[in-house]
Amino acid sequence: MRHSALFHSAAVFGLCLAGHSAEAGEISVTLSGAAFEGGPAFEMALGGTVVGSGTVENPVPEGQTFTFAVGDDLLATQGDLTLRLTNDYFAGEGQDRSLEC
């Protein structure tokens, strides 16, 4: 069983550039995934500071958008944006909880 996965900023921007935006005071990301015994849960961090968390309850191909308020001072640091899957679970073929962007 896998317990966690880390998506670094290069993966986030490389895989879903259209699904991410940052404006003064907020960061939005559109995520989907695969649910197995629950939807994929995640934490989003900017420069190592957690700015939000959530769960994709009903993963669909078009994804679910999450928006988190972020202080302008944190946005100005231009640190790495990371997503961490906090409840990864794999029980065999077709029985996998995962996060996609």
What are the tens digits of pLDDT across the range 39-96? 999 999 988 999 999 999 888 888 999 999 988 888 887 688 899 999 999 999 989 9
Which of 93, 83, 89 minimizes the C-alpha distance to 3?
A: 89
Pairing of strands 64-69, 26-34: antiparallel
pTM (2 d.p.): 0.73
pLDDT digit string, tens, across residues 1-39: 333 333 333 333 323 433 455 556 888 999 999 999 999
For residue 94, what are its two tokens? 């077709």
Could you name the CATH architecture of 5-91?
Sandwich (2.60)
Q: Domain-by-domain residue ranges, the chain?
A: 5-91
More confident residue, 1 or 97: 97
Adjacent-strand bridge partners of 68: 27
Residue 62: its pLDDT value, please? 86
Which residues are CB-contacts of 27 (< 8 A; sequence separation ≥ 6)?
Answer: 20, 21, 44, 46, 51, 52, 67, 68, 70, 75, 81
Residue 23: its pLDDT value, please? 55
